[in-house]
């Protein structure tokens, strides 16, 4: 196997488990499967959605000519690009950067607000040398050293689940304010993002808000979740947090919408997981979405939200609808963060 030395200008956060240095060896032999790490050269420039998150969480601009290490994967976002792992790739082929986490694939659906994604030339598969003295190397994959998935859910810490109707419905803001409020009340709080596509931004925001530790499915070697693996991944992350940190509560964000393609529904259908839910925070952008989410959670999943948040609670009109029509508390995470956290704290204390 002919290898090539290469200096990386950018290392994407989706590759974090591979623990890459700036100087790597490449192989021309590429395994086209989710999770393998590739080196690519950026071929285009744009003024929006032109950044990548590095392994510590900084967003760095990508420019034409930059050499990037990213991870092969798929994306199925409603308000972003959609793409898939190609069946075959060779050096010199063109693929696209599908998200800020550096997920690489063939874009199948453009976003009119973001324009076309950044094109990238495939340079080769990044090699890893996990064993001391290994001279051959093997294609780097983010499952190496990852948090283990599990078929069983252990522990007993109460879980606060933050769900939403779609992307950008206020889930992360609500999760962060709940983490902040519970932490200030003296609880040791862990956090996790259980579904979505690889990006550390949201869990880092939860750590900044007071979580003693936070994990995402990417820590379990997953680029993007789906119905097939989301549940075992969620079990593994919760087991890891509880076994390592013994938290008083775990706040989890279920990325994407309840009816999206990232496996949220498979989590909500699991009685072992939902039985650990001390509270469910439902985020929605408007009254229709809030009504539909509450109906869906109740009728399909037999779950009752604890509180409604998100943009539908941005003013009194939406809050009044939630209180009067849905008979649920309505607390806006931006304007009424203390009240939102107090509502969740009361439910946790009543459960214990």
Mode of pairing for the β-strands spanning 103-109 and 82-84: antiparallel
Of 339, 349, 304, which is closest to residue 319 (Cα–Cα)?
339
Q: H helices within the chain, ranges in order?
A: 171-184, 201-208, 230-245, 264-268, 271-274, 287-299, 316-325, 337-351
pLDDT at 349 > cutoff 80 = yes
Dihedral, 206, 210, 213, 216 alpha carbons, nearest 10: -10
* 3-state secondary structure (DSSP) of residue 141: strand
* pLDDT at residue 79, rounded to an integer: 81
* pLDDT at residue 77, rounded to an integer: 83
Percentage helix, strand, coil, to 5, in the chain?
30, 30, 45
* pLDDT at residue 141, rounded to an integer: 97
* pLDDT at residue 132, rounded to an integer: 57
Write the DSSP string, 204-231.
HHHHHTT-SEEEEGGGGT-SB--TTTHH
User: Other CB atoms closer than 10 Å to residue 138's CB: what's the count?
Assistant: 15
Q: Where is pLDDT greater, at 114 or 123? A: 123
All residues at 6 or more sequence positions from 27 whose CB lies less than 8 Å from its CB, including other chains: 1, 2, 3, 124, 125, 127, 137, 139
Classify each residue of 233-269 as buried b or exposed e, where b means 16 or more C-beta atoms within 10 Å of its C-beta: bbbbbbbbbbeebebbbbbbbbbbbbebbbbbbbbbe
Residue position matching structure tokens 């498979």: 266
* pLDDT at residue 80, rounded to an integer: 85
Which pair of tokens denotes residue 196? Answer: 């979505």
> pLDDT band for position 1 (50/70/90)?
low
Lowest mean pLDDT among 35-49, 134-148, 186-200: 134-148
> pLDDT band for position 290 (50/70/90)?
very high
* pLDDT at residue 214, rounded to an integer: 98
Which pair of tokens denotes residue 279? Answer: 């509270």
Contact 188, 301 (CB under 8 A): no
Of 327, 319, 324, 256, which is closest to residue 298 (Cα–Cα)?
327
> pLDDT band for position 124 (50/70/90)?
very high
> pLDDT band for position 129 (50/70/90)?
confident
* pLDDT at residue 58, rounded to an integer: 96
Contact 71, 221 (CB under 8 A): no
C-alpha 226, offset from chain centre: 12
Contact 40, 72 (CB under 8 A): no
Domain boundaries, the chain: 4-139, 159-351
* pLDDT at residue 208, rounded to an integer: 98
For residues 155-179, average pLDDT: 96
| Calpha distance 100→314 (Å, rounded) | 28
pLDDT at 85 > cutoff 80 = yes
* pLDDT at residue 109, rounded to an integer: 92
For residues 279-306, average pLDDT: 97
* pLDDT at residue 78, rounded to an integer: 80
Mode of pairing for the β-strands spanning 67-72 and 103-109: parallel
* pLDDT at residue 301, rounded to an integer: 97
| Calpha distance 322→293 (Å, rounded) | 12
For residues 201-217, average pLDDT: 98
The answer to whether the Cα torsion of 28, 32, 38, 44 is positive or negative is positive
Which pair of tokens denotes residue 214? Answer: 């936070």
Name the percent of the chain lying above pLDDT 90. 91
Q: 233-285, pLDDT tens digit by residue?
A: 999 999 999 999 999 999 999 999 999 899 999 999 999 999 999 999 999 99
pLDDT at 127 > cutoff 70 = yes
> pLDDT band for position 131 (50/70/90)?
low
| Calpha distance 200→202 (Å, rounded) | 6
Read off the pTM.
0.95
* pLDDT at residue 75, rounded to an integer: 94
| Calpha distance 135→137 (Å, rounded) | 6
pLDDT at 133 > cutoff 80 = no
Burial class (CB in 10 A: 0-12, 13-18, 19+), 129: middle
CATH no. of 159-351: 3.40.50.300
* pLDDT at residue 250, rounded to an integer: 98
For residues 226-234, average pLDDT: 96
* pLDDT at residue 135, rounded to an integer: 67
For residues 48-77, average pLDDT: 96
User: Mean pLDDT of all residues in the chain?
Assistant: 95
């Amino acid at each position: 196997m002919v290898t090539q030395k290469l200096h990386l200008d950018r290392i994407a956060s989706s590759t974090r488990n591979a623990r890459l240095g700036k100087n790597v060896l490449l192989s021309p032999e590429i395994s086209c499967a989710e999770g393998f790490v590739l080196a690519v050269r950026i071929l285009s420039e744009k003024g929006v959605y032109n950044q990548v998150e590095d392994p510590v969480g900084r967003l760095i601009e990508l420019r034409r000519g930059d050499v990037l290490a990213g991870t092969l994967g798929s994306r199925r976002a409603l308000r972003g690009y959609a793409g898939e792992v190609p069946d075959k790739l060779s050096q010199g082929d063109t693929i696209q950067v599908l998200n800020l986490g550096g997920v690489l694939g063939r874009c199948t659906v453009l976003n009119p607000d973001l324009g076309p994604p950044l094109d990238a030339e495939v340079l080769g598969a990044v090699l890893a040398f996990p064993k001391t003295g290994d001279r051959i190397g093997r294609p780097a994959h983010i499952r190496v050293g990852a948090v283990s998935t599990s078929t069983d859910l252990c522990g007993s810490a109460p879980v606060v689940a933050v769900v939403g109707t779609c992307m950008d419905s206020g889930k992360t803001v609500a999760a962060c304010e709940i983490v902040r409020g519970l932490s200030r009340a003296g609880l040791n709080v862990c956090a996790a993002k259980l579904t979505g596509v690889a990006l550390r931004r949201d869990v880092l925001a939860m750590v900044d808000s007071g979580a003693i530790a936070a994990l995402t499915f990417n820590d379990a070697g997953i680029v993007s979740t789906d119905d097939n693996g989301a549940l075992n991944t969620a079990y593994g992350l919760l087991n890891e947090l509880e076994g390592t940190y013994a938290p008083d509560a775990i706040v989890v964000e279920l990325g994407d919408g309840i009816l999206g393609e990232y496996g949220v529904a498979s989590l909500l259908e699991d009685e072992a997981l939902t039985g650990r839910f001390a509270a469910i925070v439902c985020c929605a952008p408007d009254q229709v979405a809030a009504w539909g989410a509450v109906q869906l959670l109740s009728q399909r999943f037999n779950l009752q939200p604890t509180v409604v948040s998100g943009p539908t609670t941005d003013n009194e009109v939406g809050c009044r609808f939630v209180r009067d029509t849905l008979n649920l508390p309505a607390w806006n995470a931006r304007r009424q963060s203390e009240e939102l956290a107090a509502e969740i704290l009361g439910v946790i204390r009543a459960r214990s």
